[in-house]
Structure 1
Amino acid sequence: MATTTTELDRDTAVIAVGDGVWQATISDQWAVPRGPNGGYIAALMLRAMLCAVDDEARAPRSLTLHYLRPPVPGTDATIHTTIERAGRTLSTVTARMVQDDRPMVIAIGAFANDFPTVADYSTPPPPEIATPPKELHTLEPAPGVPPIALRAALSPVFGPGPMSGGDEALVGGWLRLADPRPADALAVAFYTDAWLPSPFARLTTPAPAPTVDLTIHFRTRLPYAGMAPDDPVLARFSSSTSAGGFFEEDGAIWAPDGTLLAQSRQLALLFPGAAPPPASS
């Protein structure tokens, strides 16, 4: 893998220990109040899976993660990878993160070369893609600010605003890592869970929203050609339904030129703050 130079690179580093097993340290710099951010964990799992595939021609196409329990920040974990099948063009890989003999995260991914196509089509990006911001905003460390809030630079575009009691569950805007790096698959995996949960636009006070499962579809080879390391992406996340303590969230991430980089969907919990955390955030 490339020499690690950025925060995300350093904090998703893995070391091979043999037989498809990788050792990693769960950084405490990507934490929300209830554990590591789900996008950070997705990037870490993806790095181990990419190392297992060990073929740059086979780009990430799909990644699904189930968060069983929050990994413990500041401690080591092992990631067990298995190449379930390696065909002529597509490899299917599973991965399991373990701490203290307990499974934390389970993932399955598809990695493939390009296929011939019989049709190319896409939905146009939102009109907001035409007006990128002059600058993005980062937070400074302060009491009560979780570490994850310091890892991204933002410029909100979509939705009524967090805790505004709005009439739609919609959030998002321009986004990049605070420590700039190319928008490769690791960065984009993080971006799919980097914004506040979309139901927060309907709420008036925060609530725990741990992710149960997250699926990411990478819609082009990454890093996307033509994007500089400090170029932001445009990210939009929305939810149509919250019922029985669960909500879904659909996401889309575009390059500044309007190219769709990734789509995501996750199922997450939404419950009062006194409830116990059954999954990772």
Structure 2
Amino acid sequence: MTQPALPDSDAPGQAGPHPFDAAIRLSPLGGGRFAGRTSDAYRNMVGPYGGITAAVMLQALLRRPERLGDPVALTVNYAGPVRDGEFEIATREIRTSRSTQHWFAELVQGPEREVSTTATAVFGTRRETWAHVEAMPPALPPRESLVPSRGTSVAPWSARYERRTLDDLDAGEARSWLADVPPRPIDFPGLASLCDAFRPWLFARRPQRTPIGTVTMNVYFHAAADELAAIGATPLQGVARTNAIHRGFFDQEAQLWTPDGRLLATTQQVVWFKE
């Protein structure tokens, strides 16, 4: 069935909108186009943090009244940096079947309408079926026993997430507690952004700072909207690992789980790094 467009939401207990909701706020322009503006709160070293860009691309598609069901998969390609300031996202439906719907989105800026980001998404109508999960949730100590990482002035977005991480170099993975700062009920844009909040494993394997940038990111959603709504603002558990670091690029894959062991999302990305 066709779903209603989602309004911009305010976080409970906030005097105004949550910084995340302010960052993904969009104004309809007609014809499937939306206007937005980058947020200083989610700024990275160059342009906005990749996770917030993924979230705003998904938000544009969620705002389309014709969209069918819930997001199942999202692919974001970062063609170039998003400049600070205003941007426009154009969306279009590609094809709809009885169970799935495919969409395309494109972020442009400036009088030349330069493309910096593209995205494709698959939406689907979920129904009750047999279910089984092969993956295992990460083994993490109590959240309170791990020291939270601190945000940095050169990457303000990092202060928008609390990350309590346990590196396991022998296993080749990082296990983390992750949460929005301030707390925010999880939804699909928030989950997409959180998939990019893990520390790049390159920096754990080789403790040397170097410029990096995500080239492409996939997110696969394993929960429906009503299941996310029932979770609220509970901190999530995650695990991230890299398969290969080679000749200027590395991949990173991750999973996000509820504390009681429900898999919410899996993600893969390819990252460029400067040597």
Q: TM-score range by the shorter chain?
A: 0.7 to 0.9
Q: How many matched pairs?
A: 260
Match of 1:260 in 2: 263
Mapping for residues 76-91 of structure 1, pairs under 5 Å: 76-91=86-101
Q: Is the 8 A contact 1:172 1:195 kept in 2?
A: no
TM-aligned CA deviation for residue 174 of structure 1: 0.2
The 5-angstrom pairing of residues 36-47 of structure 1 reads 36-47=48-59
Q: Distance in 1 between matches of 2:190 and 2:136?
A: 23
State the TM-score, normalized to the length of structure 1: 0.85
After superposition, residues 63-212 of structure 1 pair within 5 angstroms as: 63-73=74-84, 75-100=85-110, 101-115=113-127, 117=129, 120-128=132-140, 131-133=142-144, 137=148, 139=150, 144-160=153-169, 170-212=173-215
What is the RMSD of the two structures over their aligned residues, measured on CA atoms? 2.2
**Amino acid aligned to 1:31:** R
Quote the offset at 1:91 in angstroms.
1.3
User: Which residue number corresponds to residue 231 of structure 2?
Assistant: 227
Contact 1:169–1:201 under 8 Å retained in 2: no
Closer, same or farther: CA 40–202 of 1 in aligned 2, 3 Å: same
CA distance in 1, matches of 2:260, 2:55: 24
Q: In structure 1, what is the equivalent of residue 34 of structure 2?
A: 22
Q: Distance in 2 between matches of 1:10 and 1:107?
A: 21
In structure 2, distance between residues paired with 1:182 and 1:250 = 24
More relative contact order, 1 or 2 (CA 8 Å, 6+ apart): 1
Distance in 1 (CA, whole Å) between partners of 2:248 and 2:59 is 32
Distance (Å, rounded) in 2 between the aligned partners of 1:138 and 1:180 = 16
- Counterpart of 1:3 (choices 6, 9, 29) is 9
> Contact conserved, 1:158 with 1:236, CA < 8 A, in 2?
no
Deviation at 1:90, TM superposition (A): 1.6
Cα 1:156/1:107, change in 2 over 3 Å: same
Unaligned ranges ≥5, structure 2: 1-6, 11-16
Distance 1:245 1:168 in 2: 23
Distance, in Å, in 2 between the alignment partners of 1:204 and 1:138 is 15
Residues 171, 238 of structure 1: 8 Å contact kept: yes
* AA matched with 1:3: S
Distance apart, 1:169 and its partner CA? 5.2
Secondary structure, counterpart of 2:54 in structure 1:
helix
Q: Is the 8 A contact 2:33 2:89 kept in 1?
A: yes
Rounded to whole Å, the distance in 2 between the matches of 1:18 and 1:32 is 30
Determine the structure 1 residue equivalent to 2:250.
247
Amino acid at match of 2:218: T
For the 8 Å contact 1:82–1:94, the answer to whether it is kept is: yes
| Of 61, 67, 78, the match for 1:49 | 61
Distance in 1, matches of 2:147 and 2:206, equals: 25
Identity of paired residues, percent?
Answer: 26
2:228 and 2:248 map into 1 onto residues whose CA distance is 37
Question: Please, what TM-score do these two structures have when normalized by structure 2?
Answer: 0.87
**Structure 1 unmatched ranges of 5 or more:** 161-166, 273-281
TM superposition shift of 1:225: 4.8
Distance 1:86 1:136 in 2: 47
Distance 1:150 1:247 in 2: 25
